[in-house]
Amino acid sequence: MTSVKGTKTTAAGTRTEPMTLAFDVTVSSVRQLSPTFRRVTLGGYSLRDFGVRGDTLDLRIKLMIPSLAEDGTVVPLPPFNMEEAGWYQEWLAMDPSVRGAMRTYTVREARLDGVYPEIDIDFVMHFDADGNGGPAANWAQAARPGDAITLIGPNNRAAHCFTAEIYSGIEWRPGMAQRVLLAGDETAIPAISAILESLPSYMTGHAFLEVPEAGDFLELTSAADVEITWLARGASIGRSRPHGELLQQAVRNAVPVPGWVGIKSDNGGAGPEPEDVNVDEEVLWETPARMETAAIAATKNPDMPAGAMPFYAWIAGEAAVIKDMRRYLVRDVGIDRKQVAFMGYWRQGKAEG
Ligand SMILES: Cc1cc2nc3c(=O)[nH]c(=O)nc-3n(C[C@H](O)[C@H](O)[C@H](O)COP(=O)(O)OP(=O)(O)OC[C@H]3O[C@@H](n4cnc5c(N)ncnc54)[C@H](O)[C@@H]3O)c2cc1C
């Protein structure tokens, strides 16, 4: 067992549940969904303790990708105590050739009520021209049924405790918004897909999904009146458009700059210049903590036609692309940052961690 699980007794004698736990699971199956996406299903009785209150939406987890010894065998992850606040530092201090790598992924689907609980993770198979991938892409490429891995995710006992905070591994919080914009590259497709499946029929808006090639267009279902547009960079026909170019264009078309900007704006935009983020040094992660009704009323654009519903956008993908879209939506269009979650899921040329 990787971690010590269970409740913790505080100094005051009350028992608290940790929000996250480590789960030892094994690969149940592997399926190549398309040229880019490889679905790895992870199962284990430990997942009976996994879960959040309600839909998993864009729920993120950490996968502890194991190291391989020179003979190709898996180096077992040494035990570390998830109950302690400093578990991450404890793990980080271990020899990298022993502790392996920690990577962030989305739960595409969770089936936790069956006899044998399982979750699906959809991995982007990214490899450079020499065929080298990161630890997670390599692991998914080689994964076989029975392979063991540890993941860190939500403790469902904490989630169902009525005093539980909202689990921080979910960012999708549209509040009262009925018009939504979802935009992301291939790494965000699992999250966007799960969000779309959960949306009620009264939601309207757009979802733009950029992927390497048309063969990566996956089947999506949603009860909502959200127009879903797949965008293919054209990798399979050897004319790949730059990463994010199609996505940015689609967002610009769907959310144009207000007409008055050219006439009376001081800075050439409808909103303030967002502070700069050096995406090579920092993680671009700007998400509204919570969309309360009052906050929406306060941020409502006075030019919004009467009866128009508040708007919420969720945008994730390569950090430099997300940074450009943040500047466009906040400064050029004037959308309040409380209405948008901007998340740099990965950085071109930089390993996670
Ligand atoms: C909240 C969250 C949820 C995520 N969900 C998913 C998910 O469900 N599925 C998924 O596939 N990814 C997801 N990602 C992105 C994933 O964590 C990164 O792509 C991660 O870097 C992959 O790890 P790696 O070990 O394969 O590569 P790393 O070791 O991190 O990187 C090695 C090299 O590969 C490049 N690289 C990394 N990712 C990509 C990519 N997608 N395309 C091209 N080059 C890349 C890096 O720039 C670097 O040069 C998510 C990220 C976050 C923050």
Q: Which residues 6+ apart lie within 8 Å of 235 measured at CB? A: 212, 213
255 touches 333 (CB < 8 A): yes
Locate the domains of the chain by residue range. 8-159, 179-346
Q: What's the longest Cα–Cα distance across the chain?
A: 68
Token couple for 96: 């990298």
Pocket mutation for ligand 1, best pick of 126, 141, 167, 279 (most atoms within 8 Å of C-beta): 126
The set of residues, in sequence order, having a beta carbon less than 8 Å from that of 26 and lying 6+ positions away, is 42, 43, 44, 145, 146, 147, 148, 149
Nearest CA to ligand 1 atom 1: 60
Q: How far is CA 138 from CA 4, 125, 131, in A?
A: 29, 8, 10
The full DSSP string for 82-139 is TTSTTHHHHHHTS-HHHH-EEEEEE-SEEE-SSSS-EEEEEEE----TTS---HHHHH
CA-proximal residue: ligand 1, atom 45 (nearest)? 126
Ligand 1 site, residue 109, Cβ cutoff 6 A: no
pLDDT digits (tens, 9 = 90+) for 90-103: 899 999 999 999 99
Does the fold of domain 179-346 match that of domain 8-159?
A: no
Q: What is the pLDDT of residue 267?
A: 66
State if residue 346 touches ligand 1 by the CB under 6 angstroms criterion: yes
Task: Tell me if 193 CB under 6 Å of ligand 1.
Answer: no
Locate 268 and state its tokens: 């050439």
* 25 membership: H or E segment, kind and range: strand 20-32
pLDDT at 31: 98
**Interhelix angle for 319-327 vs 245-254, to 10°?**
20
Closest CA to 314 of 187, 209, 194, 174: 174
Segment holding 198, helix H or strand E:
helix 189-198
Span from the CA of 190 to the centroid of ligand 1 (angstroms)? 13
Cβ-Cβ contacts under 8 Å for 306 (sequence gap 6 or more): none
Find, among 123, 120, 121, 118, the residue nearest to 138 by Cα. Answer: 123
Please check whether residue 39 is in contact with residue 33, taking contact to mean a CB–CB distance below 8 angstroms: yes
Q: Which atom of ligand 1 is nearest to the CA of 106?
A: 8
Report the C-alpha gap between 185 and 243 in whole angstroms. 8
Q: Is 154 in the pocket of ligand 1 (CB under 6 A)?
A: no
Q: Domain 8-159: which topology?
A: Elongation Factor Tu (Ef-tu); domain 3 (2.40.30)
36 Cβ closer than 6 Å to some ligand 1 atom: no
Q: By alpha-carbon position, which residue is closest to atom 39 of ligand 1?
A: 126
Q: CA geometry: angle at 88 spanning 85 and 92, to 5°? A: 145
User: Which of these CATH numbers, 3.40.50.880, 3.40.50.80, 3.30.110.30, 3.30.200.20, describes 179-346?
Assistant: 3.40.50.80
Query: Cα(333)–Cα(10) distance, rounded to whole angstroms?
Result: 49
Which residues, in sequence order, are bridge partners of residue 343? 285, 316
CB atoms within 10 A of CB 349: 8
Can you tell me which atom of ligand 1 is nearest the CA of 101? 25
Q: How far is CA 223 from CA 200, 209, 227, 228, 302, in A?
A: 6, 18, 11, 12, 30
CB half-sphere exposure, 296, CA atoms < 13 A: 19
CA of 339 to the centre of ligand 1 (A): 26
pLDDT of residue 292: 47
**Ligand 1 atom at shortest distance from the alpha carbon of 171:** 1
* Tens-level pLDDT at each residue, the chain (353 residues): 344 344 455 455 555 778 889 999 999 999 999 999 999 999 999 999 999 989 999 999 999 999 999 998 999 888 877 766 788 888 999 999 999 999 999 999 999 999 999 999 999 999 998 999 999 999 999 999 999 999 999 999 887 766 555 677 999 999 889 999 999 999 999 999 999 999 999 999 999 999 999 999 999 999 999 999 999 999 887 789 999 999 999 999 999 888 777 666 666 788 888 989 999 999 999 998 644 444 444 444 555 444 444 899 999 999 999 999 999 999 999 998 889 999 999 999 999 98
